[in-house]
Chain A
């Protein structure tokens, strides 16, 4: 699915954050030993969604190029999947989550770069949320290391 408008990008990434939050909440129930970490990630997902929507609604104006701010931003190129296959092992699930977070990060940073000064606050929040993904990846990797031991 090719994204060209700010509205579509904000909707899409909002759904990604919401679906991710649900995924982490499910994992928190399933793996109570790491529940706190997963719940904090879910909380951050919802905060990200809110921040992105707030930035978009705060700056949106006809002086910016909201309908023309993306070019070649195709969600198919990122294959972001916020569901885990039934019966997946815990280590495999963590590995998949790392992969998904890296894909989301790439999407956000690409979107930030493309929209740049065209919809300034939106690109700024995409970049901020995207860069912060490094911390999530590190957390998930540390869980993976722990489980592998």
Chain B
């Protein structure tokens, strides 16, 4: 019959890696004595040893980036993007390895990792348009014989602080644009899953990007503090929790006069209207609530079953139908080591995150919500240690004041709630302090128009559960989900450049 069985895909990391910093085009061992294990959350095997670098090491990287900046900013935009074209080609050639590394170090499914790789590549693709995108504007004859024009100039050195949930893609929301604009960067990957950023830096080196333009310093709080306090870092790009983004990054950047993009936490609502395509909507909900094991700022958190136009008994029947379909679908999700192509949901990033979520499920129960599906009962495809695995959970009878309904849980837990009308649903969204994303599932144009127009979230989906903007749109966010003025992706070209206005007259 020919061998057509599904197997676990081959692991690209075969031995424990020793992670180094990449400073000034050299791979240098950290002087730090503090070394952390990077553990595959599915197998619990150690993949790499990562250093917790010192303040001196971040200072050294910033110094070299600063020294490199004049050379790089004087390299023409056309020449700069040629390096990115080469990098893009190398990323395509290494697509599968880059994706499997993400699955190994983070735990996400191979489909999700490939999606992350693709979106990372798209950032590089869009950044290669810098010779057009970075152009300024000109108006001749603002008075007879006088012209005025504005152009963009690179600024200097930027610090990029990556999160653990998208170890490959998120730093690429910023790096290619910063570099293409003529800046130098110092990247701090998440110490929980830093390998992806090491792989991409290796490709940047192979692409010939000059030493000192793209630097990587591994570590934790000391490296972040070092970036925030360093006078030669002109701006910081951060993706992570609201607590850190607002109280540490945004505040500190204000104090030190740095530009800042801080994309933060979320509590996203999905609305199911009575006319929604049930089959498609439920599948979309599974992706939204349980994709990436719920560890993403675009994940669905609260599902609102909206009874717009329904009589009470019709609404009750509709609500029951949604609950039953949702719970059934969630209970059938295949959980396991995500290099197995049958698997639909991988583990959490680590055991601590699992334990926190186990506690939050209990908190929901204690608050009075009804646990319809208890993900603490572990069922896996394959024989893997349970340490970081959690199956999907579903709560009903959740009220807005409950912790589980208000705060970001960042795991595979769904709350199903009632809203009698579309107005009530929108009000519930607005009562929540976050404003990252929301979605409506319906076939009704009038409802959709009202929702899209009125809802105060940065990213809005219509029959889309994960509203992940393409590289050539900003990754938006409102309220406590975003701190700063400009967003990541294409919009950050303005962030990475200064405007200079020239008024010119010749005597």
Q: How far is the CA of A6 from the CA of B114 in the complex (A)?
A: 11
Contacting residues of chain B (105-121) with chain A, CB-CB under 8 angstroms: 109-112, 114-116, 118-119
User: B342 to chain A: which residues have CB within 8 Å?
Assistant: 2-5, 8
Is there an interface contact between A57 and B95, defined as CB atoms closer than 8 Å?
yes
Is there an interface contact between A5 and B291, defined as CB atoms closer than 8 Å?
no
Is there an interface contact between A4 and B2, defined as CB atoms closer than 8 Å?
no
B101 interface residue (CB < 8 Å to A): no
Is there an interface contact between B467 and A82, defined as CB atoms closer than 8 Å?
no
Q: Which of A3, A4, A62 contacts B292 (CB 8 A)?
A: A62
User: A71 to chain B: which residues have CB within 8 Å?
Assistant: 283
Is there an interface contact between B114 and A57, defined as CB atoms closer than 8 Å?
yes
Is there an interface contact between A68 and B467, defined as CB atoms closer than 8 Å?
no
Contacting residues of chain A (36-76) with chain B, CB-CB under 8 angstroms: 56-69, 71, 75
User: A61 to chain B: which residues have CB within 8 Å?
Assistant: 115, 118-119, 468
Q: How far is the CA of A75 from the CA of B6 in the complex (A)?
A: 11
User: B283 to chain A: which residues have CB within 8 Å?
Assistant: 65, 68-69, 71, 118
B466 interface residue (CB < 8 Å to A): yes
User: A77 to chain B: which residues have CB within 8 Å?
Assistant: none
What residue of chain A has the Cβ atom nearest to residue B286's Cβ?
A68
Is there an interface contact between B6 and A68, defined as CB atoms closer than 8 Å?
no
Is there an interface contact between B111 and A6, defined as CB atoms closer than 8 Å?
yes
B280 interface residue (CB < 8 Å to A): yes
CB distance from A146 to the nearest CB of B (A): 27
User: A134 to chain B: which residues have CB within 8 Å?
Assistant: none
Q: Which of B112, B298, B329, B465 contacts A66 (CB 8 A)?
A: B112
Q: Which of A15, A80, A118 contacts B280 (CB 8 A)?
A: A118
Is there an interface contact between A82 and B1, defined as CB atoms closer than 8 Å?
yes
What residue of chain B has the Cβ atom nearest to residue A56's Cβ?
B114
Is there an interface contact between A62 and B341, defined as CB atoms closer than 8 Å?
no
Contacting residues of chain B (289-311) with chain A, CB-CB under 8 angstroms: 291-292, 296, 298
A residues with CB within 8 A of B:
1-8, 11-12, 15-16, 19, 56-69, 71, 75, 80-83, 116-118
7 pairs of A and B residues whose beta carbons are closest in the complex: A19-B2, A66-B111, A8-B341, A67-B344, A68-B283, A63-B468, A65-B287
Q: A11-B6, A62-B296, A62-B468 are in contact. List 14 more A-B contacts (CB 8 A).
A: A3-B342, A4-B334, A5-B109, A19-B4, A56-B114, A61-B468, A62-B119, A62-B291, A65-B286, A67-B286, A68-B284, A71-B283, A83-B2, A118-B283
Q: List 9 A-B contacts (CB under 8 A).
A: A7-B110, A11-B341, A57-B118, A62-B112, A62-B298, A67-B291, A68-B344, A117-B280, A118-B280
